[in-house]
Amino acid sequence: MPIASTLLATLLAGCSGGTSDTKEIVIGQYGSLTGTSATFGLSTANGVAIATEEQNAKGGIGGVQIRMVVEDDQSKAEEAATAVNKILSRDRPVAVLGEVSSSRSLAAAPLLQAAGVPMISPSSTSPKVTEVGDYIFRVCFIDPFQGTAVAQFAYNSKNIRNVAILKDVKNDYSVGLAEYFTTTFTGLGGAIVGEEAYSEGDFDFKAQLTNLVSKNPEALFLPGYYTEVGLIARQARELGFTGIFLGGDGWDSDKLVEIGQDAIAGAFYTNHYSVDDPNPEVQSFIKKYQAKFNATPDGLAALGYDSAKILYMAMEEVAKNPEHAAAFADRSGVPATEGARKAARAALRERLAQVTGYPGVTGTITIDAQRNAQKPAVVVEVTKTGPKFVESISPDGSSRKSVGGDAPAAAPVGGDAPAAAPVGGDAPPAPQEAAPAAAK
């Protein structure tokens, strides 16, 4: 249980500080460390931990060490709001990272927006999340694009014309993704032959699946989380479904194959990165992650890493202004310095909004006017030994079938000044060696 013990250490570290007058900069993080979708939160926290360790090894932000405070939301939306309230009132963070699930990000984002604390969601893909306000950012693509990518893949690459959908009706992400998929897929000329719903926590999907399977779809689109998808796949096969399963990034967990077994093998889903990617950024991250956690990082770990890296990069630049640097490390909580703290966070928000062409593990990240990241999606195939790269789909609609590097990058958004490009001070880690594939 190396993951659990590391987390425990992080949590304990979070409890011990506080009263001492050692200078530190506190960053909050909320996520699902326990509960139904626990692997989401655990992977993200691991990715963030690596980024924080690296930053602290470099001397933190302006010479002050970063302390990451992690709160568990038990995979529940109402707990996400509680966790963030706790972080805000107890720890006075400069910024907050989280959540994976869009429903949980949506529960907490209004609190952070009202408090004027920048939030970066590593991997919430519902467009509603960043619509909450100008302090809410994300480093992943959004569902309208993800839905388009799956639909294009199904129609163009797999020649599928009839699809049935089974979605989680209580999950903003799932409902949204189903809708965007439908729009693109029918626009291309495909047909949605049936659409049914379930609720998170269900364990029996046979009623809905019997209906869907009777309509003979070539593929079943399951825009849900891995917790239910594995089971749905098994029950669909038991009811005689022989077509292809398609899904989105909510599938990204080792548990998917553990539960779905043979039924889910050969299915395809869109994700944020692929471990097969020979890009040195990617391979160096995988190496670091394996060394520390003895596991292959999933997309959520990679996004957690990228979100923290971008935050620290922006903070470093803002901290060049000594007033802001002092405000970042100010943990006194006295009203006299509240203005300076607010100004520093506002400056951080400004800087985050200008991130352009950041070379992340999950692709080149450019924050657009809606505070979303513009970047390609990767289609992977589920195999019993882990996800396998199939193709990469860019926001402009072009696709790339080779695993090759991310060279042509996402088309630059609007006339962005090249000056803002690859971010000062943050020299990409030298690729030790370009390992062709991650050893599992």
Partner 1 sequence: MTLFLQQLLNGLSLGAIYALIALGYTMVYGTLQLINFAHGEVYMMGAFAALYIARYTGVADNPTLPGVAMVAVGAMTACAILGMLIERLAYRPLRNASRLNMLITAIGMSLLLQNIALLSFGALQNFPSLLPETQWKVIGVAVRSNDLVILGVTLSLMVALTVIVERTQIGRAMRAVSHSRDAAALMGIPVDRVVAFTFALGSVLAGAAAFLVAMDKHSVRPDMGMTGGLKAFVAAVLGGIGSIPGAVAGGLLLGLAETFVSGYLASTYRDAIAFLLLIGILLYRPAGLFGKSTVEKV
Distances (CA, A) of 188 to 154, 156, 174, 366: 10, 9, 21, 28
Stretch in the footprint of partner 1 (CB under 8 A) among 196-204, 391-399, 407-415, 428-436: 196-204
Binds partner 1 (CB under 8 A): choice among 113, 211, 321, 399: 211
Residue 209 Cβ vs partner 1, minimum distance, rounded to whole Å: 9
Residue 252 Cβ vs partner 1, minimum distance, rounded to whole Å: 14
Burial 238-260 (b: 16+ CB within 10 A, else e): eeebebbbbbbbbbbbebbbebb
Note whether 153 and 393 are within 8 A (CB).
Answer: yes
Residue 399 Cβ vs partner 1, minimum distance, rounded to whole Å: 33
Residue 35 Cβ vs partner 1, minimum distance, rounded to whole Å: 6
Nearer to partner 1, 131 or 238 (CB): 238
Stretch in the footprint of partner 1 (CB under 8 A) among 234-242, 293-301, 307-315, 329-337: 234-242
Nearer to partner 1, 75 or 130 (CB): 75
Regarding 201 and contact with partner 1 (CB under 8 A), the answer is yes
Regarding 265 and contact with partner 1 (CB under 8 A), the answer is no
59, 50, 30: which is closest to 292 by C-alpha? 50
Binds partner 1 (CB under 8 A): choice among 59, 240, 333, 429: 240
74 by Cβ neighbours in 10 Å (0-12 / 13-18 / 19+) ranks as: middle
**Alpha carbons 413 and 149: distance in angstroms, whole number:** 19
Q: Where are the alpha helices (DSSP H) in 190-320?
A: 206-213, 226-238, 255-264, 280-293, 299-318
422, 421, 352: which is closest to 95 by C-alpha? 352
In 3-state terms, what secondary structure has residue 156? helix
Binds partner 1 (CB under 8 A): choice among 11, 193, 239, 409: 239
Residue 4 Cβ vs partner 1, minimum distance, rounded to whole Å: 7
State which of positions 243-262 bind partner 1 (CB under 8 A).
255, 258-259, 261
State which of positions 47-86 bind partner 1 (CB under 8 A).
74-75
User: Which residues make Cβ contacts (< 8 Å) with residue 9, sequence separation at least 6?
Assistant: none
321, 394, 313: which is closest to 354 by C-alpha? 313
Binds partner 1 (CB under 8 A): choice among 51, 231, 286, 318: 231
**What is the DSSP code (8-state) at residue 76?**
-
Residue 217 has which token pair?
């779809």
Binds partner 1 (CB under 8 A): choice among 2, 22, 131, 206: 206
The sign one gets for the Cα dihedral 315, 305, 228, 174 is positive
Residue 181 Cβ vs partner 1, minimum distance, rounded to whole Å: 17
| Binding string, residues 8-47; x marks residues near partner 1 by CB under 8 A | -------------------------xxxxxxx--------
User: Which residues make Cβ contacts (< 8 Å) with residue 402, sequence separation at least 6?
Assistant: none
Binds partner 1 (CB under 8 A): choice among 52, 56, 227, 356: 227
Residue 83 Cβ vs partner 1, minimum distance, rounded to whole Å: 14
310 by Cβ neighbours in 10 Å (0-12 / 13-18 / 19+) ranks as: buried
Stretch in the footprint of partner 1 (CB under 8 A) among 99-107, 155-163, 192-200, 340-348: 192-200
Binds partner 1 (CB under 8 A): choice among 198, 285, 289, 305: 198
**Alpha carbons 134 and 369: distance in angstroms, whole number:** 10
Total residues at interface with partner 1 (CB under 8 A): 36
User: Which residues make Cβ contacts (< 8 Å) with residue 5, sequence separation at least 6?
Assistant: none
Which helix (DSSP H) or strand (DSSP E) does residue 45 occupy? helix 38-57
Residue 124 Cβ vs partner 1, minimum distance, rounded to whole Å: 19
Binds partner 1 (CB under 8 A): choice among 207, 291, 419, 439: 207
Residue 234 Cβ vs partner 1, minimum distance, rounded to whole Å: 7
Return residues touching partner 1 (CB under 8 A): 4, 33-39, 74-75, 169, 196-199, 201-204, 206-208, 210-211, 214, 227, 230-231, 234, 238-240, 255, 258-259, 261
